[in-house]
């Protein structure tokens, strides 16, 4: 039986009042999983009002008390890990082990956020002038909102709200309409962990809800993850309405394979990075850059592995499938369209995912596809396909590889596979990309570092989680003071100095 989902506002489930209802699906079967009530403007404004009304008391709560709530939240997440992962698999489609891995990476951010009493410590300078001291503190930004995508329904929200809450902000989460259940369950677990009502709210909605959040004068900061066109629009509109914004956009991530690389290691890494989660990752490797003599052995090892990919439902298979379905039928059609386009553009289609037996099954399945002899002017190279399609580009030497990667409009993540420390160091120094892996295919940083790309993969100056996340969700205030002991005579018109 399909379930109905509304919102989480002021510490409880709230039925949606809107007439706009959106279905979401089990991608493995194509069946409707539930019906989502998409928030109208008044419902979204109500959630914002609740968050605003809760701000003063929550921001005055000692950081250690906020951290203790997050410690309890971690315990709840661990207790319900399999249940949340099952929801992710049923609604997104990724295999169960991948869903559990997503949750682990999200929990790492909560663990980082529990250190907030230390992370919020300011600075103090004694005697910056005669009997004058200066010190700084970090104070909450205010009411914050997170707008998150379908591909990581637990991890990406946890990039945002744990640090925002730990810093003393209240929060409104607008998750993807395609897989809302993980967000709703996390809201329940936060409440069970002792988070006061109204501090964390979930509004399920579409662009109407996003526009309401952007336009509200009560919202102070917005975190966004999604496609580049929407990220740019959110960022520009947030600036228009005077809000702080970090908007993470699209990607076209390259893995450079040097001739001296451990080819077995590179290929195994590439298989998981390109086809894991059906390629629906902003850090997926979608371009393999084969340098010189690396091309032929790379292709020879890749083709049989791509042909043998186990594609099927993310739950119940023994052994577990390696790749599940795409998230919707429309997205399946879009990916299939890119495969057709790539063949017409002149790339050599070595493995066609449309010919996989899974393509004709119920659900939104497509096999892995592999192109060789892809060039930089082709759409399959330039565009973010967001599916299990790997493009191999051949270049003659190291500097050509660097120029290719740096010439792309996106700069999210990249990797180089080599045994040569000089190449690895040069690549790390020269590449215009925000996250770099050396013999690591998906260089997603641990939570105590910050995640984010360069160029058109990020709009805004601060990345998510790590210390940049703390800086995003706080404002620095600097005080300068003295306690007079006989002030002297006459008025003082000069700036305080050492004299």
Smallest Cα–Cα separation from 92: which of 252, 309, 359, 323? 323
Percentage of residues in the chain with pLDDT exceeding 70? 97
Which domain covers residue 239, as residue numbers? 3-249+457-479
**Mutual angle of helices 96-113 and 155-166, in 10-degree steps:** 10
Residue 322 within a domain: yes
Tokens 């023994």 locate to: 318
Reported confidence tier of residue 496, pLDDT bands at 50, 70, 90? low
Same domain, 297 and 224: no
Same domain, 262 and 239: no
State in Å, rounded, how far the first CA of the chain is from the last one.
78
For residue 215, is pLDDT > 80?
yes
Smallest Cα–Cα separation from 116: which of 69, 52, 170? 69
DSSP per-residue letters across 276-290: GGGG--TT-EEEEEE
Residue 193 within a domain: yes
Residue 494 within a domain: no
Same domain, 419 and 468: no
**Beta-bridge mates of residue 139:** 475
Same domain, 313 and 236: no
Model pLDDT for residues 434-449, shown as the tens digit of each residue: 999 999 999 999 999 9
Per-residue pLDDT at 24: 93
Distance CA 429, CA 348 (A): 33
- Cα–Cα separations (whole angstroms), residue 367 to 26, 127, 313, 378: 18, 67, 13, 21
For residue 147, is pLDDT > 80?
yes
Beta-sheet strands, E only, within 339-456? 348-351, 369-372, 389-395, 410-411, 413-417, 435-438, 454-455
Same domain, 193 and 278: no
Model pLDDT for residues 226-274, shown as the tens digit of each residue: 999 999 999 999 999 999 999 999 999 999 999 999 999 999 999 999 9
Tell me what the mean pLDDT of segment 161-176 comes to.
98
CATH number at residue 91: 3.40.605.10
Model pLDDT for residues 73-115, shown as the tens digit of each residue: 999 999 999 999 999 999 999 999 999 999 999 999 999 999 9
Average pLDDT, the chain: 96
Model pLDDT for residues 449-462, shown as the tens digit of each residue: 999 999 999 999 99
Reported confidence tier of residue 336, pLDDT bands at 50, 70, 90? very high
Put residue 127 in one of left, alpha, beta given phi > 0 → left and psi -120 to 50 → alpha: left
Residue 388 within a domain: yes
Residue 443 within a domain: no
Other Cβ atoms less than 10 A from the Cβ of 239: the count is: 13
Same domain, 152 and 49: yes
Same domain, 305 and 207: no
Which long-range contacts link 149-152 to residues 24+ away (Cβ below 8 Å)?
Answer: 149/176, 149/225, 149/226, 150/92, 150/176, 150/178, 150/179, 150/280, 150/327, 151/92, 151/277, 151/280, 151/281, 151/282, 151/327, 151/386, 152/102, 152/106, 152/281
Residue 499 within a domain: no
The pTM (predicted TM-score) of the whole model is: 0.95
- Cα–Cα separations (whole angstroms), residue 229 to 8, 161, 433: 29, 24, 19
Tell me what the mean pLDDT of segment 466-488 comes to.
89
Reported confidence tier of residue 2, pLDDT bands at 50, 70, 90? confident
Same domain, 74 and 183: yes
Which of 499 and 20 is assigned the larger pLDDT? 20
Tokens 């975190």 locate to: 223
Per-residue pLDDT at 490: 65
Tell me what the mean pLDDT of segment 373-390 comes to.
98
Model pLDDT for residues 304-318, shown as the tens digit of each residue: 999 999 999 999 999
Tell me what the mean pLDDT of segment 299-306 comes to.
98
Same domain, 106 and 241: yes
Residue 448 within a domain: no
Distance CA 256, CA 368 (A): 20
Same domain, 261 and 327: yes
Tell me what the mean pLDDT of segment 409-420 comes to.
98
25: which residues sit within 8 A by CB, 6+ positions away? 31, 32, 33, 91, 178, 328, 329, 364
Distance CA 27, CA 311 (A): 13
433 near 453, Cβ under 8 Å? yes
For residue 497, is pLDDT > 80?
no
For residue 489, is pLDDT > 80?
no
Same domain, 13 and 91: yes
Distance CA 294, CA 420 (A): 14
- Virtual CA dihedral for 302, 305, 306, 310, nearest 10 degrees? -160
DSSP per-residue letters across 124-177: EEEEEETTEEEEEEEEE--EEEEE--SS-TTHHHHHHHHHHHHTT-EEEEE--T
Reported confidence tier of residue 485, pLDDT bands at 50, 70, 90? confident
Smallest Cα–Cα separation from 322: which of 389, 369, 284, 276? 276
Per-residue pLDDT at 498: 54
Tokens of 212: 């309401």
For residue 337, is pLDDT > 60?
yes
Smallest Cα–Cα separation from 168: which of 81, 283, 64, 83? 64
Residue 211 within a domain: yes
Helix, strand or coil for residue 195? coil
Per-residue pLDDT at 3: 84
Same domain, 95 and 206: yes
Domains identified in the chain, total number: 2
CATH number at residue 337: 3.40.309.10
For residue 488, is pLDDT > 90?
no
Length of the chain: 499
Within the chain, how many helices (H) and strands (E) appear?
Answer: 16, 23
Catalytically active residues are 282
Distance CA 356, CA 371 (A): 15
Tokens of 434: 């925000």
Q: Phi first, then psi: what are they for 327, rounded to 5°?
A: -75, -30
Tell me what the mean pLDDT of segment 282-290 comes to.
97
For residue 396, is pLDDT > 70?
yes
**Beta-bridge mates of residue 166:** none
Per-residue pLDDT at 483: 85
């Amino acid at each position: 039986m399909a379930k109905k989902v509304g919102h989480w506002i002021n510490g409880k489930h709230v039925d949606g009042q809107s007439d706009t209802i959106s279905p979401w699906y089990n991608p493995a079967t194509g069946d409707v999983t539930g019906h989502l009530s998409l928030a109208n403007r008044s419902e979204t404004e109500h959630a914002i009002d609740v968050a605003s009304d809760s701000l003063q008391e929550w921001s005055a709560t000692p950081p250690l008390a906020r951290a203790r709530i997050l410690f309890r939240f971690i315990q709840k997440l661990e207790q319900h890990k399999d249940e949340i992962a099952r929801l992710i698999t049923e609604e997104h489609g990724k295999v169960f082990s991948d869903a559990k891995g997503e949750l682990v990476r999200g929990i790492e951010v909560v663990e980082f956020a529990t250190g907030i009493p230390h992370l919020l410590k300011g600075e103090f300078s004694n005697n910056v002038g005669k009997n004058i001291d200066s010190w700084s503190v970090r104070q909450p930004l205010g009411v914050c909102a997170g707008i998150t995508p379908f591909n990581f329904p637990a991890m990406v929200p946890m990039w945002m709200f744990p640090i925002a809450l730990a810093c003393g902000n209240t929060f409104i989460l607008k998750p993807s309409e395609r897989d809302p259940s993980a967000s709703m369950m996390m809201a329940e677990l936060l409440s069970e962990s002792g988070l006061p009502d109204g501090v964390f709210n979930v509004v399920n909605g579409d662009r109407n809800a996003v526009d309401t959040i952007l336009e509200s004068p009560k919202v102070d900061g917005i975190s966004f993850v999604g496609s580049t066109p929407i990220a740019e629009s959110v960022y520009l509109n947030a600036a228009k309405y005077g809000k702080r914004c970090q908007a993470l956009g699209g990607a076209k991530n390259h893995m450079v394979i040097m001739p001296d690389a451990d080819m077995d290691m590179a290929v195994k890494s590439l298989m998981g990075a390109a086809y894991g989660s059906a390629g629906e990752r902003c850090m997926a490797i979608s371009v393999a850059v084969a340098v010189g003599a690396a091309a032929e052995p790379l292709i020879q090892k890749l083709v049989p592995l791509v042909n043998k990919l186990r594609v099927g439902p993310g739950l119940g298979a023994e052994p577990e499938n390696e790749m599940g379905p795409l998230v919707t039928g429309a997205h399946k059609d879009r990916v299939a369209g890119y495969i057709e386009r790539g063949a017409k553009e002149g790339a050599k289609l070595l493995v066609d995912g449309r010919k996989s037996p899974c393509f004709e099954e119920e659900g939104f399945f497509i096999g892995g596809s592999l192109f060789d002899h892809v060039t930089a002017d082709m759409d399959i190279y330039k565009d973010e396909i967001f599916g299990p399609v790997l493009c191999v580009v051949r270049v003659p030497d190291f500097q050509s590889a660097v120029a290719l990667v740096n010439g792309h409009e996106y700069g999210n993540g990249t990797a180089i596979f080599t045994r040569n420390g000089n190449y690895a160091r040069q690549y790390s120094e020269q590449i215009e990309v925000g996250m770099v892996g050396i013999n690591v295919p998906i260089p997603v940083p641990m939570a105590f570092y910050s995640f984010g790309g360069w160029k058109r993969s990020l709009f805004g100056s601060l990345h998510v989680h790590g210390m940049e996340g703390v800086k995003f969700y706080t404002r620095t205030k600097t005080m300068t003071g003295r306690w007079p002991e006989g002030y002297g005579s006459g008025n003082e018109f000069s700036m305080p100095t050492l004299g």
